Every structure is written in C-alpha cells, then in structure tokens.
Chain A
Amino acid sequence: MTSRYMRNISICAAALLLAVSGVGCGKGAETQEDITAETDENVAVNENGGDPSESNGEDNAVTVTSTSDPDAIKSRNIDIPALAAENEEIFGWLTVPGTDIDCPILQSAIADDFYMTHNSKKEADESGALYIEMANMTNMCDFNTVIHGNGGEKGLFRELVNFENPDFFDENETFYIYIDGDVLTYEIWGCMERDNTSLIRTYDFTYASGCRQFMEDVYESKIVGKQIRNGWEQLSEYNFMVTLTIDDPDSDRQLVVYGTLIEDPAGIIDRVIEE
C-alpha cells in the first residue's frame, strides 16, 4: 500500500515536471529569427500609403490645397466663426503645403487629449483631430503653441514624418495657421525627435528663462537626424513658435517640427514677456 502510494506520487510529480519543462522549452526554443521577427512587429508599415485626397471621415476631410503658391494660400477664405458654430472648440485651421495636412485646430474644455480619440465633430474617431492643450492660448500669442495630431495610417499628422527627409525639409519651408481675422505664416526651422514628454509641462514658456532653457536644449541636444535650417541657429524668447508633434503614447520618442512666426498681417500677435 505504501509503496503503491509512493509510486503514484512519483509518477504524478514526473508528469507535472514534464508539463512544466515542456512549456519552458516551448518558450525558450524560439530562435534568434523569432526575436527579430517579433521586434519587427513593432514597425507598423502601411503598404498602401494613402491617397491624400481621400477623406478620413466627414469632418476629418483633409482638403488638400492644390497649390503651394503662398499668395493663393493666404487668400483662402477659411471662415473660423462658421466652423466654431459647428463646434465651439474649433479656433483655427492649419495648412502645411507639400503634405495633406489641411484641417481645423481645436482645444478641448474637457481633457487635453480628448481630440486624440475624437474628430472635430466630437465623434469617437481613431484619426482624432488637431488640438492644443488647455495651457496654450487659442489666440496664438504663446511663445510656443504645441499642436498635436495622430500619426499612423489614418492620423491627420501622418505626413509630418516627411520633414525628417532632409530634401523635403529643405524644399518645404512654411505652414499657415488661420485664426479669426488673420492668416499667420510660420517658417519651419527645425525637425527632430525628442523624449515623449509634454513640452508645455517640461518648460515654463510664460517666463523668458523657460523659453531660453527650451531653446538651449533644442540647439544643444545631440539627436541623430536633427535638422536646423540655416539662419535659425539662434531663436529668442521674443519669437512666437508653433510645434507640430505626433502623438504616440506607446513610444518613448516623439517627432517634432518647429516653426516660427514670420508674418502676421493683422498685427494681433503679441504678449508680455516676464523674466
């Protein structure tokens, strides 16, 4: 009786250990190729590219401006109050020639990242909308207004990555922001990756010292692929900047494109600078 009991215990223990080692071997038997393949799965590649003239949704319609003529772009009639009548959180419009980025800019009163998952009609939409955080002013008078957009296959900022190509960066120098009563022209002077942290929370742009710290970090940071346009090696706290950035919570890096105001026809962009 006792020996039979011990025999059964031994058999059960061996079977259990066999099962465990089978699981471990299965996990450990993956080859180097499996490791590489699994890592490659993190690279989201869209073989289709996307037709820039296609609509992503009713109000995510990216109406590509067919001209890169600055005068034609500036004379476009973008009725911001009419857009705001549809959604009171629309305050501006962004056009980036050379890309399909041509859409409204919003600021949510609910949560900074509301428009990461909602379109400009406030409908749930993975394409999202372009938006600024609540800490930025909608009158575009901050030192640095940060405009967020989604990348990926359907994101409105999917073509922002083109600025990482030095040739594209050299050839496409401006973007435009329409606000009520004004069309602002920005010159693109920088494109790089940085840590995926909020610029608004990292630097206090309300003070000149915060602005200078930001600029020092931008110019002195060592980043592979960083691009600074000739002549823009020294920004000052008296400039008005816009940062275009792709939201990707799964990445520890973020792509940023920096532009600085060079034309303000209505002369309404101004701010008090505190030391």
Chain B
Amino acid sequence: MFGNRRNFRQIEHEKQTMLDPVALARASRERKRKIARNILFSVFGVIFAMVASWTVIRAVGKVNLEKQAQAAVPVLQTPETIEAPPEEKQEWKEGWVKYNGKIYEYNDDLITFLFMGIDKSGKVKEVAEGTNGGQADALFLLVLDQYNREINIVGINRNTMTDIDIYNENGDYVDTVKAQIAVQHGFGNGVEKSCEYQVDAVRKLLYNIPIHGYAAINMKAIPIINDTVGGVNVEALSDVYDEKDRKIISQGEAVHLMGNDAAMYVRDRDTGEFGSADVRLARQKQYLTNFVSQAKAAAKDDIGVVSELYNQLMPYMTTDVTFDEVAYLAPEVTGYTFETDGFHMIKGETVMGEEFEEYYVDEEALYDLIIDVFYKEVGLND
C-alpha cells in the first residue's frame, strides 16, 4: 500500500532524468546556487543585526551621557565689554572665575562618576530606611576629559568631616550635622537612595561640581573586578592581614594580587591604629592606579571584558550608569591617557575626635585642586 503512494515530485524527477538529463543537471546546479545565496544572505543578515544593535546601544549611551553633561553646563551670557587690549575684545561671561590673576571657566568636556566601595559583603539588597545602608569606605571620583582624552581620579578620605544629612526611619530629612563623609551612605535604603545621598555629600564637599553617575560596589565584588582584568601588580605599601588577622602580604613585597588578596589589600585596616584610614587610602590609590592601567590593557585586547565585568558586577553593584552608556564609554576610554599625577588626593589632616578619627580638609588646597582638575583657563589676565 505504501509502495503505491509515491511523492509527486519524485515521480516528476524520475521522468526528467529519463527525458532530459542535461536540463535536470542544470536545474540542480541552479538550485544549489540559490541555496548558497540564501545562506549567505542569512549570515550577513545576522552580522548586520549584531553590528546594528551594538551601534545603536552605543549611540543611545552617548546621547544619554551628552544630555547629562549638557544639563550641568552653566549657560553663559553676555555682559558689557570690559577693558581689554584693543586688538582683542573680551567679555566677562557668566560662570567665569578669577583665581590667582587668571580667568577660568568650568570644563564642560568632563564627565564624572563617583565610585563607592561599600563595607558590605554579599549581594546588594535593599534595606529598610534607617542607618543600615553600609558606609562608603572608599570614595573615588573618576573624571573623564572627552576633549583631551585624559583620565583623572580624585580620592576622598572616608573620614573627611563634612555636612551629613540625617534621615529618619521614614526617609524624612531631620537635620544636617558634621560627620565623616563615609557615613552618609548609611542612610537611605542601601541602594539608590543611599547612593544619591552619598553623591550629594561629595558634590557639596567638592564645590558643587556636577557628578553625572555613580557606582557603589560591595567589597565582596573586589575579587571579581580584580580577576576579570587578570589581577593587579603592586609593591605592598604596608602589611596586610586577612579576616582572621593572619598576615597575608608583607610591606615591600611585590605581589600579583588575585582573588581575596586583592580584596584584603584595599579593605584591611586596623581601626585601633591611629591614621589607619590614611594608610589604607594610600594602598587604595596605588591599587586603583595600577588597576586602571591593567583594565585599559585588558579592554584593548578584548573589549568584551567590559561587558563581562559589568554583568558580573551587577549583583554586587548599585549604579545609575546603564549598559549602553558603558558600551559607549568603554571603547573610548581605553584610548585615554592616565598619568600617575592624574591621581589627586585631597590634602588635609587627620585628628582624633571624641570617638573616631576625623579628617579635616585643607580648603585652600581643595579649591586649588578643583580649579586644576575641573576648570580650564580662558586666557584673560590682569
């Protein structure tokens, strides 16, 4: 029965084979060419889809970052003409600043991000409003100059005494007091609100410099970041101990930091020792300097390391920087220069408070740093 139900196409094929084998062979070759063409179109189609998607993602990220940068730019306006050499008329513009006999304006080519290291283990999770958000034990402001293609980093001592806004368990503002800047992140919900409070505190400390984005990373994530870029080399600035108080690194030792060693290198601190925060900050500065170089090299070799890093960090990170913004920035930043003098520490002095160490900023030095890093000269002198 089944032998009689033959495929119509099969019957036709047999007929053609007997009647016109040449035409049949030609038709067969044509069919194969068509199949190959279709496969080729499909492959190109997939490639174009991937390229288009990546390009669109980067374009969206670029647009978002531009909007944020432009929103912070002071709108300059036109005053009357002031005295100037006859061959060159200059006008005082809104937002200009005179400092040490020179005129400066805010460098609107800058994009800034605040990175916070939070003293919490485990993955990020929202907590009830109160004081359980975790303290920002590491605070670094990443400053990207899009025009000069430079990276600068400003390090902030976690004990810097500054205005801290106090919020109650309902999230309502209560008061502003002077306290260590690290504690600001403790208020809020441990995620976005805490970060926003911290960003606000840093912004006010730094003369209201715009901060375009933030990333708060639980200390648990340090080994992940570190190992993703292949580890970081340091010559240890001090002895480092692990959670069980065992010495794992000796001062002066040349170390290739991997895993938990990297975490302890940037976290370890003997709170009973005066100035321990300063010692740790020096290690953090060193680590970060070397990490940036390592990360740039790794990203240059394989830009995919950026998305890998972003995805691996997500469970341990609170950030308002979106993936499309990272996708836009990362390939750009790998070409930026980062000099050793591009790492700026805010000068000041540590003193012992009633209970905890307190760091008092040298305001003159800070103002100098603000002008140096965030402003550019416009060339109108006395």
Q: Which residues of A contact B (CB under 8 A)?
A: 3, 6-7, 10-11, 13-14, 17-18, 20-21, 23-25, 27-28, 30, 32, 35-36, 38-40, 42-46, 48-50, 52, 99-100, 151-153, 155, 158-159, 161-162, 164-168, 193, 220-225, 246, 248, 250-253, 255
Do B94 and A151 touch (CB < 8 A)? yes
Asked if B370 is at the interface (CB within 8 A of a chain A CB), the reply is yes
Asked if B207 is at the interface (CB within 8 A of a chain A CB), the reply is yes
Do A161 and B147 touch (CB < 8 A)? no
Do A158 and B78 touch (CB < 8 A)? yes
Smallest CB separation, A112 vs chain B (Å): 21
Bound together, the chains give a CA A3 to CA B41 distance in angstroms of 13
Max chain A Cβ within 10 angstroms of own Cβ: one of B69, B72, B75, B163: B75
Bound together, the chains give a CA A10 to CA B48 distance in angstroms of 12
Bound together, the chains give a CA A220 to CA B207 distance in angstroms of 11
Bound together, the chains give a CA A181 to CA B62 distance in angstroms of 59
Bound together, the chains give a CA A40 to CA B107 distance in angstroms of 10
Option from A28, A168, A221, A251 in Cβ contact (under 8 Å) with B58: A28
A-chain residues with CB within 8 Å of residue B51 when the two chains form the complex: 21, 24
Smallest CB separation, A217 vs chain B (Å): 10
Option from B48, B147, B332 in Cβ contact (under 8 Å) with A36: B147
Do A250 and B75 touch (CB < 8 A)? yes
Do B146 and A35 touch (CB < 8 A)? yes
Given contacts A49-B78, A158-B78, A28 and B62 within 8 Å (CB-CB): yes
Do B52 and A158 touch (CB < 8 A)? no
B-chain residues with CB within 8 Å of residue A21 when the two chains form the complex: 48, 51-52, 55
B-chain residues with CB within 8 Å of residue A162 when the two chains form the complex: 79-80, 82, 92
Smallest CB separation, A66 vs chain B (Å): 15
Do B149 and A164 touch (CB < 8 A)? no
Do B98 and A165 touch (CB < 8 A)? yes
A-chain residues with CB within 8 Å of residue B274 when the two chains form the complex: none
Do A161 and B77 touch (CB < 8 A)? yes
Do A168 and B146 touch (CB < 8 A)? no
What would 4 more interface pairs be, CB under 8 Å, given A7-B38, A161-B93, A225-B96?
A10-B41, A45-B76, A151-B77, A158-B77
Given contacts A24-B52, A49-B78, A165 and B72 within 8 Å (CB-CB): no
Given contacts A3-B34, A32-B147, A193-B95, A14 and B56 within 8 Å (CB-CB): no
Binary flags per residue of B41-78, CB closer than 8 Å to A gives 1, else 0:
11011001101100110110011001001111111111
Asked if B278 is at the interface (CB within 8 A of a chain A CB), the reply is no
Do B109 and A45 touch (CB < 8 A)? no
